[in-house]
């Protein structure tokens, strides 16, 4: 499957993600996955990511959450966005469970913490 590597600034990346998502161009069925180099890390992350807020919602079973995450990873989406604040930590717990059995190597996980600075972050924990 061909991979396109794009160097984009944040604004272009967000606009591209909106266009790609609405047009379906990231779909694995079309045979193209679009990635972005994340800053100076050299890491390649998918232009579209999977947000974690909904993953820990009580109306979604843990099994369904794991299936959603693994399906996204299997189809080439590798950027997962999460926070311990989502659903009392359940979103991060479910992401952790979904990344078992070799799935961790497929994922780039970004998680957020409370606080606007180092002191605020320490107080939140």
Respond yes or no: is residue 86 known to be catalytic: yes
Single out the residue of 28, 37, 39, 69 nearest to residue 52, CA to CA. Answer: 69
Q: Looking at 86, 94, 95, 107, which residue is catalytic? A: 86
Question: What is the distance between the alpha carbons of residues 33 and 37, in angstroms, rounded to a whole number?
Answer: 13
Q: Are 28 and 76 in contact (CB under 8 A)?
A: yes
- What value does the CA radius of gyration of the chain take, rounded to a whole number of Å? 15
Q: Evaluate whether 55 touches 70 at the Cβ level (below 8 Å).
A: no
Residues catalogued as catalytic:
86
């Amino acid at each position: 499957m061909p991979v396109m590597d794009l160097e984009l600034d944040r604004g272009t990346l967000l606009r591209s993600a909106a266009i790609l998502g609405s047009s379906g161009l990231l779909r694995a069925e079309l045979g193209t996955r679009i990635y972005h180099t994340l800053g100076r890390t050299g890491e390649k992350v998918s232009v579209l990511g999977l947000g974690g807020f909904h993953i820990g919602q009580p109306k979604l079973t843990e099994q369904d959450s794991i299936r959603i995450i693994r399906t996204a990873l299997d189809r080439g989406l590798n950027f997962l966005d999460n926070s311990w604040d989502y659903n009392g930590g359940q979103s991060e717990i479910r992401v952790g469970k979904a990344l078992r059995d070799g799935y961790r190597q497929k994922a780039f996980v970004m998680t957020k913490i409370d606080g606007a600075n180092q002191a605020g972050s320490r107080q939140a924990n």
